[in-house]
Structure 1
């Protein structure tokens, strides 16, 4: 496993076409999901859940989503239909992260949503720590109510994203990162009127 400093400094999103077999074993997946669950969670609500898109369900859902897209948009091109049908088979494993945030007497919904985002990032770091690569995307299916229903996401839930996981077939290249001077500032002195 990678030490934490190296892990944080080397994590990169890898393009989905570059994610190949093998994906995580069941034991590795359990470790990844356990690590993903170790996030700040005010009130111990676990305001998120994971959906594993794999096996025979993955291509079946892709076909159902392609059919849904066609009912909305009219006949799909051959390339678009193939893209939609392969939606959950483009990597060895796709993990949907779902926010289950809801009103709470003490815990703001925003904090619950942030916890779901933290779970997603922990999932990506945990995969990277085990030698896998990942890519976090959403696309239209994350925001379409009928698509959400097909994927087992309730109307009151929100899709945080889909994390595609596999073994990288190439060394990921880095991309420009923000200059710290553009994103870091000291708190201002209060102005008293």
Structure 2
């Protein structure tokens, strides 16, 4: 099963450079989305806890703070999507990163009380693609003003504002649901987070791409 090319012209790379995020329309067929959604629901019992209690700076320059959620390895169709040539081409065009290579996928499982504190993704995730597999997945916190901030600075932000910063310097990013589009964001460069989940079960499929 192949992902169709974008139905609209991809946003200019300048938009990516200015905001660190872009929504790509028309890159995920409805049938493919439904297969990914179904395979994820069928494998939920394979999810394992993902828990961290402390804030840490990693050698690759990324920053992590406390987290509590579930982690599910990608099913076959999600893994195929990660390596889909049409999606990769759209990402390269929208970001201007012509040497992006896929690193695979996974699903994050959020249940009541789950959260991810302010963090940046591993260096292997220059670009992260998020796909909401449930309709009411809450938006994630987003701090473009802290793009490329040193981990020590991010530790100061957590100490001052907590795991889920609020205020005019911080904003939110939502994820499209079942409309053929996906959101890409600069997971390694821009700090982001998710507040404590209000209840129920929400699923976020993620794909990672590294700029060589």
Taking structure 1 as the reference length, the TM-score comes to 0.28
- Higher helix proportion (structure 1 or 2): 1
Structure of larger gyration radius: 1
Q: Provide TM-score, normalisation by structure 2.
A: 0.26
